[in-house]
């Protein structure tokens, strides 16, 4: 809000204007009644004129106040959402391993919304009370200090009531937001995995689980509504008590000639003018409690321990492939599984295949080489320089990384392909399409390169998505290409063709690929075999095939398998 001080001052000015004008109306109505009592027709008309004038002024002030303050809250909401969005995009890989998407969505959506309600309607009501109270109270004291003290006495209980209800509301709101986040996480997961849910007939169980979470959310919402609805009756009770005091004590003062009838009328107007702001004070206190709980959750999110990624500035890269060295590198999880310790050296233009069983650490190694995962011990040198926060963007600028799960955006094929090279020409795109053997496919698509591929590339098959992801990486002409089982969904024949094409296309780029297929590994100059995260064999495929060990065993098995397939 501090950034919008000027708008805030304008809003505050409009609020004061509106409140002062509204508070003064009863004063003129009192004077008009007194004039009528004296049968001073001219005076009463003048006073009624003033009344009308201030009512119009209050109306204009109210319009400006709402326009400025509610508009400001929408602006602050937009800024908060955008800054959260760019905050999220500047988080490293480790941050996302801890997060649940549904929870993030509920924070960026719901929690930001609670903050807006406080900075908009909440703040406006609060400012209205602050500005209306001194003027109205001043006029009331000026008219009769005895009656002012008497009618204001019940209002002191209101503050106590609001305090107790506010504390309770904050507690419930924290639980409510957690319940909403659980609901949102669960539904996001179910909808993302909808095919698995349906294929395994899990609908009923998921619906029942959703029902449990939804009931908890509904129960807490009801509780919050009950708390919220306590404000109005409490305010009405206190307001009623004040009116009772006004009629009994004020009437008594009029009877004994200590107060005029006009003053009593003015007091009624003052009480009406005070009633709404006093009632809305409870409402705005509740909004502040909700916003406090929401902002606490947003603060937790933006105080993550991981440092932000360095800014993505344009980088000029050397025109030669990368050299990489891993020295005593290790990354182990709490379970003891993981990678390393490992020493490895890759000269510029080297090609290495990483082979191993399920969970042997292939993906982890590629994530470390990609600079996505920081190793717990040891270090990685890129072109002889340790990879650090300062050199990370430089490393990424020359990197082509194709993960196991190809991720496509719900845009055209062209946008998905040219994501890392928006300036790529039509010829370049087609050249790459031929390398990854998808030129035929593109021609068959209804709008060719301009076909929209749907969410996560739903209109493409797994193998087609993988080839698109590979083409996207190749279009960048990377100095280092990392393929994490990137063609696992492509048939063996097409994979051989793509690898053949790749050899010609890549030229001297440094290549590391993780694979389960021996014939893929054989296209590389060297093979590293991992077991339980440890290197158990390293050498040329020919040398490893001649040694007794995992690689030779895998080669025998897979050759047999291929013979059988060919025979069939």
Ligand X SMILES: Nc1ncnc2c1ncn2[C@@H]1O[C@H](COP(=O)(O)OP(=O)(O)OP(=O)(O)O)[C@@H](O)[C@H]1O
Contact set with ligand X (CB under 6 A): 97, 333, 335, 337-338, 356, 358-364
Instruction: Give least dist CB 351 to ligand X, A.
Output: 19
Instruction: Give least dist CB 342 to ligand X, A.
Output: 12
Closest CA to 112 of 286, 291, 288: 291
Instruction: Give least dist CB 310 to ligand X, A.
Output: 23
Q: How far is CA 500 from CA 495, 518, 565, in A?
A: 8, 15, 21
Q: Name the residue nearer to ligand X (CB basis): 355 or 424.
A: 355
Rounded CA separation 110/217 (Å) = 13
Closest CA to 150 of 140, 139, 136: 140
**Residues contacting 239, CB < 8 A, separation 6+:** 271, 275, 278, 279
Q: Which two tokens stand for residue 512?
A: 């590391």
Instruction: Give least dist CB 493 to ligand X, A.
Output: 22
Cis bond before residue 341 (omega within 30° of 0): yes
Q: Name the residue nearer to ligand X (CB basis): 50 or 519.
A: 519
- Tokens 């040891």 correspond to 378
Closest CA to 180 of 150, 207, 143, 220: 220
Rounded CA separation 56/28 (Å) = 14
Q: What angle (nearest 5°) sits at the alpha carbon of residue 382, between those of residues 436 and 483?
A: 20
CB-based burial, 371-409: b 16+ in 10 Å, e otherwise: bbbbbeebebebbeeebeeeebbbbbbbbbbbbbebebe
Phi/psi for 331 (5° steps) reads -145, 105
Q: Name the residue nearer to ligand X (CB basis): 49 or 359.
A: 359
Instruction: Give least dist CB 511 to ligand X, A.
Output: 17
Phi/psi for 283 (5° steps) reads -65, -45
Residue nearest to ligand X (CB): 363
Q: Name the residue nearer to ligand X (CB basis): 23 or 367.
A: 367
β-bridge partners, 431 = none
DSSP secondary structure string for all residues of 201-228: T-HHHHHHHHHHHHHHHHHHHHHHHHHH
Instruction: Give least dist CB 336 to ligand X, A.
Output: 9
CB atoms within 10 A of CB 526: 19
Instruction: Give least dist CB 368 to ligand X, A.
Output: 10
Q: Name the residue nearer to ligand X (CB basis): 336 or 504.
A: 336
Q: Dihedral sign, CA of 413, 419, 425, 431?
A: negative
């Amino acid at each position: 809000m501090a950034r919008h001080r000027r708008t805030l001052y304008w809003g505050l000015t409009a609020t004061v204007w509106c409140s002062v004008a509204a508070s003064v109306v009863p004063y003129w109505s009192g004077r008009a009644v007194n004039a009528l009592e004296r049968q001073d027709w001219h005076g009463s008309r003048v006073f009624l004129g003033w009344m009308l004038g201030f009512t119009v002024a209050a109306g204009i002030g109210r319009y400006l106040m709402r326009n400025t303050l509610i508009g400001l809250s929408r602006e602050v909401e937009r800024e908060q959402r955008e800054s959260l969005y760019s905050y999220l995009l500047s988080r490293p890989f480790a941050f996302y391993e801890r997060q649940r998407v549904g929870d993030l969505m509920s924070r960026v959506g719901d929690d930001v919304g609670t903050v807006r309600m406080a900075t908009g309607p909440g703040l406006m009501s609060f400012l209205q009370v602050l500005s209306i109270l001194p003027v109205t109270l001043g006029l009331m004291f000026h008219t009769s200090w005895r009656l002012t003290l008497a009618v204001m006495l019940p209002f002191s209980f209101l503050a106590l009531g609001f305090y107790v209800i506010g504390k309770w509301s904050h507690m419930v709101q924290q639980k409510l937001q957690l319940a909403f986040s659980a609901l949102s996480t669960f539904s996001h997961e179910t909808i993302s995995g909808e095919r698995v849910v349906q294929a395994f007939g899990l609908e009923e169980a998921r619906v029942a689980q959703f029902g449990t979470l939804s009931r908890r959310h509904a129960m807490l919402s009801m509780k919050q509504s009950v708390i919220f609805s306590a404000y109005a009756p409490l305010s009405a009770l206190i307001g009623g008590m004040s009116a009772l005091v006004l009629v009994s004590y004020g009437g008594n003062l009029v009877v004994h000639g200590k107060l005029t009838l006009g003053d009593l009328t003015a007091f009624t107007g003052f009480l009406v003018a005070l009633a709404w702001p006093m009632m809305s004070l409870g409402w705005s206190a509740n909004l502040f409690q909700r916003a406090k709980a929401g902002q606490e959750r947003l603060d937790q999110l933006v105080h993550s321990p991981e440092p932000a990624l360095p800014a993505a500035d344009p980088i000029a890269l050397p025109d030669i492939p990368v050299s990489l060295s891993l020295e005593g590198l290790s990354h182990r999880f709490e379970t003891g599984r993981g990678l390393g310790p490992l020493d490895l050296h890759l000269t510029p233009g080297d090609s290495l295949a990483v082979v191993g069983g399920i969970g042997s650490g292939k993906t982890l190694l590629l994530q470390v080489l990609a600079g996505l995962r920081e190793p717990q011990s040891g270090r990685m040198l890129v072109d002889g320089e340790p990879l650090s926060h300062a050199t990370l963007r430089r490393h990424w600028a020359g990197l082509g990384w194709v993960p196991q799960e190809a991720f496509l955006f719900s845009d055209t094929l062209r946008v998905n392909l040219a994501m890392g090279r928006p300036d790529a020409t039509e010829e370049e795109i087609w050249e790459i399409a031929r390398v990854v053997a998808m030129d035929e496919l593109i021609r068959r698509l209804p709008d060719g390169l301009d076909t929209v591929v749907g969410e996560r590339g739903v209109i493409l098959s797994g193998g087609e998505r993988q080839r698109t992801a590979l083409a996207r990486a190749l279009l960048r002409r990377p100095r280092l290409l990392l393929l994490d089982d990137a063609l696992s969904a492509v048939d063996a024949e097409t994979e051989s063709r793509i690898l053949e094409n790749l050899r010609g296309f890549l030229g001297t780029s440094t290549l590391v690929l993780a694979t389960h297929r021996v014939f893929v590994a054989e296209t590389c100059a060297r093979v590293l075999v991992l077991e339980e995260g440890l290197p158990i064999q390293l050498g040329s495929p020919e040398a490893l095939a001649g040694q007794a060990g995992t690689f030779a065993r895998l080669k025998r098995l897979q050759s047999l398998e291929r013979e059988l397939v060919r025979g069939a």
